[in-house]
Chains A and B, each alone.
Chain A
Amino acid sequence: MALTKTYTIDKIEVVGTYKHIQVKQLLIISEDGQEISRNAHRYVLTPDMDISNQPQEVQNICNTAWTQDVKDAWIAFKQQQENKLG
């Protein structure tokens, strides 16, 4: 009985004004090739983040969505929030 863990990207979504990238990962555990469990894990990437460790398909979407205008707008929005709450 061999247990195997497989991580896959199930969904990549571009969300909102600042083109946040929502990533849904699936952890699939199989026993002798038969799937026995499947769990979702989520994270969100924002235009100021380092994406060099992300899977290539995620990087490709980030690079398409995050134009310089989007990055600048996100940085300005963050700064505005921090000024207000800081």
Chain B
Amino acid sequence: MGTIYVDEIKHQSAQGSGTITLGASGETINIPSGVTLTNNGTQTGLTLSDNILFNTASKGIYLGVTTATASNLLDDYEEGTWTPIIVSGFTGTPVYSATDTYGRYTKIGNRVFVNGSIKIDSGITASGAGLQYGGLPFTSLNAGQVPGGFYFTYNLSWSTSGTASFYLIMNANNTTLFVTGTNGIGIPGNTAGITLQGSTINIAGQYVV
């Protein structure tokens, strides 16, 4: 069939509440590039009755602008799980608590928000190597800047006479968090006062990828 030229298509009831069906399931309604959809009525906005699903990955929505601007494009959102681990600061093979070791993440654009809990039940001996937590779900930004911020809490002794506070530092190109003291120096796993095995560590933070 050819082209139909019309000015208006309205529901046959002409009372403004009918449903007009375009196409059928599996068919494609093609709106050519450059076409503008407008709303001439008094009610602003567009109401959809279901989710939007693009037929190509990595497509998104430009928010807050009237021209395509890369920094305004929201083209990635994801929720999921990750598994925190202790990477360094011990010898042996850690046996993680199945109930107290878990992680969740939400990725919005280029920023990843994470939280997690980790507990080693048995299998390790603390060593002089610097403590590192890992298993993060995405590699951090490839740039020479600290890509995010984190904090952690613990339910058993993590107090040492020489270190008032602990910090988690994440470098570029990493999925690992380094535990450091206020002086920026790494904390060895066998530091007196730190309970590595049996302690539940809760981590939360965000970083750029």
Q: List residues of A whose CB falls within 8 A of some B CB.
A: 15-18, 20, 22, 24, 39-44, 46, 77, 81-82, 85-86
Residues of chain B contacted by A24 (CB below 8 angstroms): 80
Q: Which of A16, A41, A81, A86 contacts B82 (CB 8 A)?
A: A41
Instruction: Please state if B130 and A46 are interface contacts (CB–CB under 8 Å).
Output: no
Query: 8 Å CB contacts to A: which residues of B67-126?
Result: 78-83, 88, 105
Nearest CB of B to A37, in Å = 12
Instruction: Please state if B137 and A42 are interface contacts (CB–CB under 8 Å).
Output: yes
Given A20-B173, A22-B137, A41-B80, 4 more pairs with CB closer than 8 A = A15-B209, A40-B81, A42-B105, A81-B178
Instruction: Please state if B138 and A85 are interface contacts (CB–CB under 8 Å).
Output: no
Interface residue count for B (Cβ, 8 Å)? 28
Nearest CB of A to B4, in Å = 39
| Count of chain A to chain B residue pairs whose CB atoms are closer than 8 Å in the complex | 62
Q: Counting CB contacts under 8 A, is B203 at the interface?
A: no
| CB pairs A–B below 8 angstroms (7 shown) | A16-B173, A18-B173, A20-B139, A39-B81, A41-B82, A42-B80, A44-B175
Instruction: Please state if B169 and A17 are interface contacts (CB–CB under 8 Å).
Output: no
Instruction: Please state if A43 and B137 are interface contacts (CB–CB under 8 Å).
Output: yes
Nearest CB of A to B187, in Å = 9
Q: Counting CB contacts under 8 A, is B149 at the interface?
A: no
Residues of chain A contacted by B169 (CB below 8 angstroms): 85
Instruction: Please state if A43 and B83 are interface contacts (CB–CB under 8 Å).
Output: yes
Q: A85-B180, A85-B186 are in contact. Are A39 and B80 (CB under 8 A)?
A: yes
Q: Which of A22, A46, A86 contacts B138 (CB 8 A)?
A: A22
Nearest CB of A to B192, in Å = 17
Residues of chain B contacted by A15 (CB below 8 angstroms): 138-139, 209
Q: Counting CB contacts under 8 A, is B60 at the interface?
A: no
